[in-house]
Amino acid sequence: MTKPVETIQRVTDRIIARSEATRAAYLANMAAARAKGPARAHLSCSGQAHAYAASGSDKDRLAATSAGNLGIVTAYNDMLSAHQPFERYPDLIRAAAREVGGTAQVAGGVPAMCDGVTQGEAGMELSLFSRDVIALAASVALSHNTFDAVVFLGVCDKIVPGLVIAAQAFGHLPAVFMPAGPMESGLPNHDKAKVRQQFAAGECGRDALMAAEMAAYHGPGTCTFYGTANTNQMLMEFMGLHLPGASFVPPNTELRDALTREGAKRALGLSALGNDYTPVCDILDERAFVNGIVGLNATGGSTNLLIHLVSMARAGGIILDWQDFSDLSDVTPLLARIYPNGLADVNHFHAAGGLGYLIGELLKAGLLHSDTQTVAGQGLEHYTQDPCYAQGKLSWRKGSGQSLNEKIVRPAHDPFQPTGGLKRLTGSLGTAVMKVSAVAPEHQAVEAPVRVFHGQDEVKAAFKVGELTGDVIVVVRFQGPKANGMPELHSLTPLLSILQGRGQKVALVTDGRMSGASGKVPAAIHVSPEAVDGGPIAQLQDGDLLRVDAVTGALDILTLDVTDRPAVTADLSANAVGTGRELFAAFRNSVSAATAGASIFGG
């Protein structure tokens, strides 16, 4: 039997071999950019004057190109709790840069939308595409070529992946990613989910639902469940782009501010002007991405990262596929239970030992590449330490080395389950993925007739009139990236949970996405080929039998001759207008398949 450590190396070697040509071309481009030296030296006097005109007391330092100019790319807005804390960051960063003789300027802003606000709305059809918009906007910000290093301020679902894509486009520059931290714990996520189910079943009114939601989302900071936003933060530590222990420190605290100031200084210290030059292209290699995938599996993270990590990697010439994720999941123990995979939120997880403990356990088990380059220095061992702030000084100390609550995080030799939280499914319906970490074993294989829908509103209508009786696999098609931007269908979770709670065997199959917070109902998502491309999902009819099996990895049509039928087409004209969708036609027309990252940057 192959040992887990051998599988880690085998998958890594496979990725390196698959990416040999594209990675070499990318690194050659970065070497060429690096060879040009500090960017500002090549600007005309007029160009520099334009760039420095509003810099006040920093003008002389900027003109002298002394200790470096730090670009700030920010996803700040004050509508979203996760990004509101960034309002204070530029002043903290400028002051920190001046302390080491450098300067800092806000290079530009990027959009930051919330999948929670747009869930079930037309705006959700722009959500996935916003990742590539963010990458483009960040690249525009950095295109002035006046910066020696960058700090990226972002948290949520598409923001961090988009910023990582841009960071790799400017991969000759060092970069430090800075989070805002989670909001304080409010109404427990499990209690909030109960109220949502009660509302979906007509057992409580909107006033009770609103009160529960406001008690859960109640202050500045990231939502506290372990969805895509907090999965992003985990990845930035596993992949070496955060300062150690930075992910889950609350906003507007002394420690959070100290980490922000130190991040700015560290970014400048890694520039080509000093002796510790560490560009992004040297950090984000194949081993870093394997570490990220292991972290994703060990924590039961968001399925959205099966799309985002593929796209992020390709920006650096690294080609991942879903089999890599599945093979690594097979040998990665699940070490964390954070809602929706458990009752704890990320604050409880952090207090119980958090990422420092978890990374330490995986390193001891040989399941991570320990020798990767990071913004904290050589080696992932740095990320087993905890930051602390005392007497006006930031420092790092050795982590506890043991779980402080084994109901939340467990040692590698005694995990919650021996394999990770993600599963690739393949069969006559195509390829899909499933998050299994929150799905009970008895629900991980479902064989049932299908009900086919062309949108989530149709599913809700059928549920409301009591049509979804008996065992059923709900198929929602024409939700892929080419059809309508691949929206999340998380608003279906409460009603599908009700059906499952009644004793029905239930599953969801879709070429769309589910939220990173999706939980106990088995969902085969990201089905490829998608319906608009004539995939087998477009040939299904009500009553056809499907088998969705996360145990064996099967996604099979059991009814004979289904694939001999003509593929159904759908009127998608409504997807093209309203809420800005008119402006995204070029994205829908050029986007790659979900298996290739659902990106406009090529598949």
Q: Are 517 and 229 in contact (CB under 8 A)?
A: no
Residue by residue, DSSP assigns 139-183 as HHHHTT---SEEEEE--STTHHHHHHHHHHHTTTS-EEEE---BP
Q: Left (φ > 0), alpha (ψ -120 to 50) or beta: where does 521 sit? A: beta
265 vs 101: CA distance, rounded Å: 10
What lies within 8 Å, CB to CB, of 423 at 6+ separation is 326, 329, 433, 434, 436, 550, 553
What lies within 8 Å, CB to CB, of 218 at 6+ separation is 183, 184, 186, 187
Annotated binding-site positions: 156, 223
Closest listed residue to residue 109, CA positions, set 74, 158, 153 = 74
- The sign of the CA dihedral 93, 380, 396, 376 is negative
Count of alpha carbons within 13 angstroms of residue 35, beta-carbon side: 6
Closest listed residue to residue 180, CA positions, set 91, 308, 89 = 89
Annotated binding-site positions for [4Fe-4S] cluster: 156, 223
What lies within 8 Å, CB to CB, of 581 at 6+ separation is 122, 125, 126, 485, 575
Residue by residue, DSSP assigns 368-408 as S-TT-EETTEESGGGGGEEEEEETTEEEEEE--SS-S-TTT
Closest listed residue to residue 146, CA positions, set 170, 176, 110 = 170
β-strand pairing of 545-549 with 445-453? antiparallel
| 346 CA to centre of own chain | 15
Q: Are 366 and 351 in contact (CB under 8 A)?
A: no
β-strand pairing of 506-510 with 472-476? parallel
Amino acid residing at 348: H
Helices (H) and strands (E) in the chain, counts: 22, 16
286 vs 348: CA distance, rounded Å: 32
Coil, helix or strand at residue 452: strand
User: Is there a cis peptide before residue 340, judged by omega within 30 degrees of 0?
Assistant: yes
Instruction: Fill in the DSSP letter of residue 125.
Output: G
Q: Residue 396 corresponds to which tokens in the numbers above?
A: 């790092």
Instruction: Fill in the DSSP letter of residue 592.
Output: P
What lies within 8 Å, CB to CB, of 397 at 6+ separation is 385, 386, 388
Q: Residue 489 corresponds to which tokens in the numbers above?
A: 């269908």
Report angle CA 184, 185, 190 to the nearest 5 degrees. Answer: 155
Q: Give the full edge-to-edge strand order of the sheet including 69-74.
A: 103-109, 69-74, 149-153, 175-178
